[in-house]
Chains A and B, each alone.
Chain A
Amino acid sequence: MRTAIIALEDGRWFRARAFAGEGEYFGELVFNTSMTGYQEILTDPSYHGQIVTMTYPLIGNYGINREDVESAKVYAGGLVVSECSRIPSNWRSRVTLGEYLERNGKIGVDQVDTRAVTLHIRTRGAMKCVISTIDSDPDSVVEKARRSPGLVGRDLSTEVTTPRRFSWPGPHRERADFGLVDAAGSRAFRDLLQGFPRGGYRIAVLDCGVKLNQLRILASLGCELEVFPNRTPAEEIIAGRFDGFFVTNGPGDPGGVPRVVETVRRVIHTGLPTFGICFGHQLIGLALGGKTYKLKFGHHGGNQPIRDLRTGRVLIASENHGFAVDRGSLPEDVEVTHINLNDGTVEGLRHRRLPLFSVQFHPEACPGPHDAVHLFAEFLHLVAGSDNGGGKGRTR
């Protein structure tokens, strides 16, 4: 195994050991506080352009299995851990974490003090980073980090969106790699969704970097999904006469995709019932006239307390975002429905007139708690209750 240098744009660097991959990898260095779920995190397209430090020091313990993926490949540019397990131990494990990263052409490093890394990011903020196994001069690697492109203003979502529209469930030939994926989702979700209403609605999904579990859940609730690339013009979506509109999560700065914001703006103003998650929530915020801003080190973890302002109850949710909707920038007719109890940031909003709501956190979990999964049912309820929808094209 090789030694690696993790260099940050502010000049701080750490020595580590590469347990997978070689070469040079660029990205924004963030930390994630989830103690489980590294496989879902790695395959979450929202991590495109980022290198993830896991704060939990023992990673790789349960290996990598076939089922727990949020897309067909690894999106995170690299993984920084304290100790990568030498052997995986779980009845579903198929390959080791190292092999998986290697196959996906990504870097994994360990034997680094991840608490020191985390403390640094917490104080100085998420920042540009390079991990190199070929350049052994720390100053030179730091320089490369400085010169690398950052996240702000960059359109990363276009790099991860589907190249062509496709249907789900259905023959996913357009994205053949989805054949790997169990469309039914995990048993836990099947249990959870049991009591929910079902309806054969047609939903347009604007893919900004979708996590598969969002599709799995909507499909389990009986929806027929049509997934569109993020550059799809609004007209094409409106013309499809869908029952509802769903805007997915995705990587990067929502400010970097004005065209997509415009699409969202035009679709939602037709009165199509709409639900957005994470990046989708930020796009909706922008489309409604609000502003977004970059958080110091973001929220990345599975233990974020979210207060539902309508019920007063607190949900524990999974989050992964570096940008947030600015509460003060939102127009009068937008109501903030959820806030983060830790720092008071906006976690959810709804429109007072349009049939629309969105959340910053991840009700589809994977990884993380399932406390907010009912929001998908709420979306269906919104779709059902709306006479403003496009085509009333209920199938089956």
Chain B
Amino acid sequence: MPKRGDIRSVLIIGSGPIVIGQACEFDYSGTQACKALREEGYRVVLVNSNPATIMTDPEMADRTYIEPITAEVVAKVIAKERPDALLPTLGGQTGLNVSVELEEAGVLQEYGVEMIGADAAVIKKAEERELFKEAMEAAGIECLKSSLVHSVDEARRVAEEIGFPIIVRPSFTLGGTGGGTARDADELARVVENGLKLSLNHEVLLEESVWGWKEYELEVMRDHNDNVVIICSIENLDHMGVHTGDSITVAPVQTLTDVEYQRMRDMAVRCMRAIGVDTGGSNVQFAVHPESGRMVIIEMNPRVSRSSALASKATGFPIAKIAAKLAVGYTLDELPNDITRETPACFEPTLDYCVVKVPRFAFEKFPGADPTLGVSMKSVGETMAIGRNFKEAVQKAFRGLEIGVDGLGRRERERIEPSRLEYGLAVPNSERLLYIKYALEEGMSVEDIARISRIDPWFIDNIAQIVETERRIVALGRGQLPERGLMWEAKLNGFSDLQLASLCGVDIHRIRRHRKEMKVCPVYRLVDTCAAEFEAYTPNYYSSYGESDQARVSSKPKVMILGSGPNRIGQGIEFDYCCVHTVFALRDLGYETIMVNSNPETVSTDYDTADKLYFEPITLEDVLNIYERENPLGIIVQMGGQTPLNLAVPLQRAGARILGTPPESIDRAEDRKHCRALLEKLGLKQPESATALGVEEAVCLAQKIGFPVMVRPSYVLGGRAMTVAYNEDELRTYVSAALRASPGYPVLIDRFLDHAVEVDVDLVCDGEDVYIGGIMEHVEEAGVHSGDSACSIPPHTLPPAMVEKIADACRRIARELRVCGLMNVQIAVRDGDVYILEINPRASRTVPYVSKATGVPLAKVAAKVIMGVSLQEQVCVGGPPPIGWYGVKEAVLPFSRFPGVDPVLGPEMKSTGEVMGIDRDFPVAYWKSQIAAGQNLPDYGAVFLSARDADKPWMVEVGRRLRELGFEIIATEGTARSLQAAGVQATLVYKLAEKRHPNILDMMAENSIVMVINTPSGPVARVDEVRIRSEAIRRGIPIVTTQSGARSTVAAIRYIRGARWGVTSLQEYYAGAG
């Protein structure tokens, strides 16, 4: 059946900010869907609050609303745009939840909007445990013993039937938030209470524990003609009990016979039909008992997911694109397989390689967070690798992970604690594979490790083979290089040159030379969906060692673009956005583009983004291999964040050509000493600073500069290990940490400018002219990492003269550094002076936000500059035209994932993503940004205020305004006294230390607090403060921890009250501006 003619416009809901459990895979799928629907001539209306996405580029949809994703907002968009249909299955859990809310509120019915793909009934049947279980039982599919409960008492009763341990899963949340395992009645009460709070419909599921069982997933697609195909099968290396997002996963399944696999396939197909997913992709999860083979269905997600993105990248089959086309009426057999062209999309991909995904964690960012893995997802990104065997793929994945281990090498000892081997093997944790490798090195048997870890012996034996090869190399003796046979074996087993260099005790270049002399070089093979059965046309490659090289090198002028690898805090989707824009710009200029990246969640690794895709780790060896094979004009390293930027100098030394800002200038800006000299030369101010290589030196220097000082390691992104030290003791602790974070590099010590206004500038320079892309004024004062603070374009308080002064300083720096491309400058403004804090000669996190807020695609402009098209030629001079609106960026923080961690902001970046609020009035834009970031600003109720003495004057002001707005004020003694003294009525509440009730925690538990404004008492927070703040996070109560945040929040609440606010698309803003 061809596409439907009765639908003209389709509303797509995005997934909003990047958070743990919902990351840029939804940009990848959403972008595919937008393209697919527009290709078919549909008018696409998009709502997504995340400005860093490709899908919110104004070219991707007919109407793009960067607005909060709430039912209220989407209802306004529907009323305005009157779409015929809503496609709810592409925006993750957020998209599904909001769609169901709209349906339940009658909005869809009122405006005659049809849900396509999956309707509300289907979504509920898949998501609500009881309905799901009923449907599965009716279809003859075995489920776990389980029961839904709505209270702790009920949970206790049910527990008696099921027996401990019990898994607790809240309904309707993302990524399994708030779930957990309960081993006894006390634990049960705690986990259930938390789960009820987080569940949208106040419901949790208690379930028999399948902890330790084998876990599998199938990615399934169905069309409305009831054709069903399995796109990919995935086996989790980690057993049941570890969230699949936190598990190392492998495609295809490795340890199931065909009989078992086909039974699982039958169950998945029956599940699709039983749930009634009309069209589209779903993910079905299974548990298999390792000794009996008992197979039970765990859950199904009737939407595209992280796993479907992985499956698409692993197989070459574009699930989201096909899902969008099926939703508008096509059937699978009507759609071509883009890879083979001749064969249809109605088939099951088959692989002739092994795919391994490894999650990336950020526990180092959250001291105090529990690093064990469970049913609630904690990882912030992932890397995927493809190899001809598991060993090759897992080693590539580990070197692509960028955690400093060069594959499963011998450097694992830097990350594990050998004395805790038993724990490391038995308890799921982020370093478990490293513990396994270590245990094998120490002689533990495969069987013992399998028994302790409950990881399938097949995987462990493969690691054992890596260890054996390693031993053979070490046995050669230091300085001895392996002969060809052993070198070949090592390469087949995924060893990197760096790993071999350290095993042989030689320099990496020597290994590389030796390897090339022996003609041990990688070949490139196609990800072709069909194991070479048919000719493949999409040049989507992975490297391995063998005979069949399929790289088709063209004679066209071509450029390599290095991506940013796995997402982590500080380096995420924003850089992928810049890489994708670079690809687009270069394609416009007629260059062939070659993308290199290892992150399966991204748009950059979509098979039709760049002309060629190399799905490879971003390391010197892997990049050089491709460079030598392709012989491009050069490499662009400035778009993918710090990962490729760190390769600039080594690549250039190895003879590769770096396009854009020269590596010497990069070094000049990145290296503190050089940078200081540069600023002095230009006569620009900077906080006094110094570099130290040891702790004692640091103490001495800090005393000269004067406390407080900022301590940070060099060559890192996202303010890793960056802290403000107020005294010598703190300084000692922090300096040692910084030396660990960036070994071999100096520690930087700067004077900390308290109470300054911080400003970020993104610009493009072509060596002569400078285009100031955006000047962003932070809402939080200096000291909060720029990635974590809210900011506004245009600046909301800085006077025009100051803005010009800032622009002028930036222009001079860019020219002096001969920047060719993007540059980001961080600035502090205090008492009319401009201080330069940091210069980053590369794309920054804020480039997409600046581009969306101003309507000028900065990365594209920069990419063209890099290729020699001057700013003059691009008619990009000075800066963007004045805009008649404010774009406010707000950071989204993952504290709810890390119970017990103090949710305060500081110089170390902690946010996972961002949203933008856009409006003609600043307070409304700010308010929208808060709502979009999940801070549900209240309109009435009781606000808890607590401030240290220094903050009391402004806290009193904030309290007065809140009273004027009719809020009740709750405060502990000190703050209450100050308020009362100033005539602001406040109700006293006991401090936790007073051990009397009601204290603030009791009030939160009774849901009688609507907002918390609480500033940290000092650099080392008191225990009770932390408890209050983390309790607020746990309960989803809005929390503000800075002065400017508090002022803006109160202003927004005041402004929005009674104000009529609307929704406006980017296209309308830009048209108005033009």
In chain A, positions 3-53 with a C-beta closer than 8 Å to chain B are: 14, 31, 33-37, 39-40
Given contacts A35-B252, A119-B548, A55 and B531 within 8 Å (CB-CB): yes
> How many residue pairs, one in A and one in B, have C-beta atoms under 8 Å apart?
169
| Selected interface stretch from A71-79, A84-92, A202-210 | A84-92
Question: What separation, in Å, do the CA atoms of A343 and B11 have in the docked complex?
Answer: 37
Answer yes or no: A186 CB below 8 A from chain B CBs.
Answer: yes
- Are A58 and B259 within 8 A (Cβ)? no
List A contacts of B256 (CB < 8 A). Answer: 36, 62, 90
B461 touches A314 (CB 8 A): no
A188 touches B263 (CB 8 A): yes
Q: CB within 8 A of A68: which of B140, B258, B342? A: B258
A303 touches B349 (CB 8 A): yes
Give chain B residues whose Cβ lies under 8 Å from the Cβ of A376.
none
Main SS of chain B's interface residues? loop
- Asked whether any CB of chain A lies closer than 8 Å to the CB of B906, the reply is no
A residues near B874, Cβ cutoff 8 Å: none
Q: A34-B350, A91-B292, A368-B258 are in contact. Are A118 and B532 (CB under 8 A)?
A: yes
A396 adjacent to chain B (CB < 8 Å): no
Are the CB atoms of A303 and B347 closer together than 8 Å? Answer: yes
Which A residues are CB-close (under 8 A) to B344?
A: 305, 341-342
Within 8 A of B (CB), among A93-114: 113-114
A353 at the binding interface (Cβ < 8 Å): no
Q: Which of A14, A56, A365, A367 contacts B352 (CB 8 A)?
A: A56
Number of interface residues of B (CB under 8 A): 57
Nearest-CB distance from B180 to chain A (Å)?
A: 29
Interface string of B243-254 (1 = CB under 8 A from A): 000000000111
Question: A37 CA to B530 CA in the complex, in Å?
Answer: 17
B259 and A313 contacting across the interface, CB-CB below 8 Å = no
Residue of A nearest to B269 (CB): A371
From known contacts A305-B333, A368-B262, infer whether A68 and B257 are also in contact, taking CB-CB under 8 Å.
yes
A33–B257 CA distance with the chains assembled, in angstroms: 15
- Are A36 and B347 in contact (CB-based, < 8 A)? no
B351 CB within 8 Å of chain A: yes
Residue interface mask A360-396, B partner, CB < 8 A = 1: 0000011111100000000000000000000000000
Does chain B have a CB within 8 A of A338? Answer: no
- Say yes or no for B261: interface residue by CB 8 A criterion: yes
Within 8 A of A (CB), among B521-553: 525, 530-534, 546-548, 550
A116 part of interface (Cβ distance < 8 Å): yes
Partner of B533, one of A37, A67, A92, A122: A122
Residues of chain B within 8 A (CB-CB) of A234 are none
Of B225-233, B655-663, B826-834, B944-952, the stretch lying at the interface with chain A is B225-233
User: CB distance B548 to A116 under 8 Å?
Assistant: yes
Q: Which residue of B lies closest to A39 (CB)?
A: B257
A216: Cβ under 8 A from any B Cβ: no
Complex Cα gap A368–B348 (Å):
11
Task: Report which of A58, A122, A186 forms a contact with B354, defined as CB distance below 8 A.
Answer: A58
Query: A61 to B254, Cβ gap below 8 A?
Result: yes
Contact call A314/B346, Cβ cutoff below 8 A: yes
Q: Tell me if B978 counts as interface (CB < 8 A to partner A).
A: no
Query: B450-468: which residues lie under 8 A (CB-CB) from chain A?
Result: 456-458, 461, 465
A341 close to B388 (CB less than 8 A): no
User: What residues on B are CB-neighbors of A67 within 8 Å?
Assistant: 259
* Residue A280, interface by CB 8 Å: no
Chain B residues contacting A35 (CB-CB under 8 Å) are 233, 252-253, 350-351
- Give the size range of A's interface with the partner: 35 or more
Q: Mark A272-303, 1 if CB is under 8 A from B, else 0.
A: 00000000000000000000000000000111
> Chain B residues near A55 (CB, 8 Å)?
350, 352, 531-533
CB neighbours (8 Å) of A313 from chain B are: 225-227
**Closest residue to B530 on the A side, CB-wise?**
A33
Instruction: Identify which of residues 322-368 in chain A touch chain B, using a CB-to-CB cut-off of 8 Å.
Output: 341-342, 365-368
Given A113-B548, A313-B225, A341-B333, A36-B350 contact (CB < 8 Å): no
CB of B388 within 8 A of CB of A82, answer yes
Cβ–Cβ contact A36 & B525, under 8 A: no
Most buried by A among B257, B266, B291: B257
Tell me if A115 counts as interface (CB < 8 A to partner B). yes
Contact of B257 with A90 in the complex, beta carbons under 8 Å: yes
CB distance from A248 to the nearest CB of B (A): 20
Contact A58 B461 (CB under 8 A): no
| Inter-chain contact B546/A116, CB cutoff 8 Å | yes
A113-B548, A370-B266 given as contacts; is B350 within 8 A of A89 (CB)? Answer: no
Complex CA–CA separation, A33 to B340 (angstroms) = 16
Which residues of the other chain, B, contact A173 by a CB distance below 8 angstroms? none
Residue among A85, A91, A122, A302 with max Cβ neighbours from chain B (10 Å): A91
Q: Are A33 and B266 in contact, with the CB atoms below 8 A?
A: no
Does A235 reach chain B (CB closer than 8 Å)?
no
- Most chain B CB within a 10 A radius of its CB, from A35, A83, A114, A191: A35
Report which residue of B291, B465, B547 has the largest number of chain A beta carbons within 10 angstroms of its beta carbon: B547
Q: Is B390 an interface residue (CB 8 A)?
A: yes
Docked Cα-Cα span, A287 to B404, in Å, equals 68
Report whether B352 and A342 are in contact in the complex, using a CB–CB cutoff of 8 Å: no
Which A residues touch B253, using CB under 8 A? 35-36
B388 engages A342 (CB within 8 Å):
no
* C-alpha gap A34/B533 in the complex (Å): 11
B293: interface (CB < 8 Å) = yes
Please tell me if B389 contacts chain A, counting CB pairs below 8 Å. yes
**A304 vs B344: C-alpha distance in the bound complex, in angstroms?**
11
Q: CB < 8 Å: which of A61, A82, A301, A312 contacts B350?
A: A301
Which residues from chain B contact A88 at a C-beta distance below 8 Å?
458
Across-interface contacts of B261 in A (CB, < 8 A): 36
Chain B residues whose CB sits within 8 angstroms of the CB of A138 once the complex forms: none
Chain B's nearest CB lies how many Å from the CB of A341? 5
Known contacts A83-B389, A91-B292, A314-B332; is-contact A33 B258 (Cβ 8 Å): no
Q: 23 A-B Cβ contacts within 8 A?
A: A36-B257, A36-B261, A55-B352, A55-B531, A58-B254, A83-B389, A86-B461, A87-B457, A90-B256, A91-B293, A113-B546, A114-B352, A188-B262, A302-B258, A303-B350, A305-B343, A313-B227, A316-B347, A341-B346, A342-B343, A367-B258, A369-B262, A370-B262
Extra contacts besides A35-B350, A56-B531, A58-B254 (13): CB < 8 Å: A33-B352, A36-B261, A62-B256, A85-B458, A115-B531, A119-B548, A119-B550, A122-B532, A303-B347, A314-B227, A316-B229, A342-B342, A367-B258
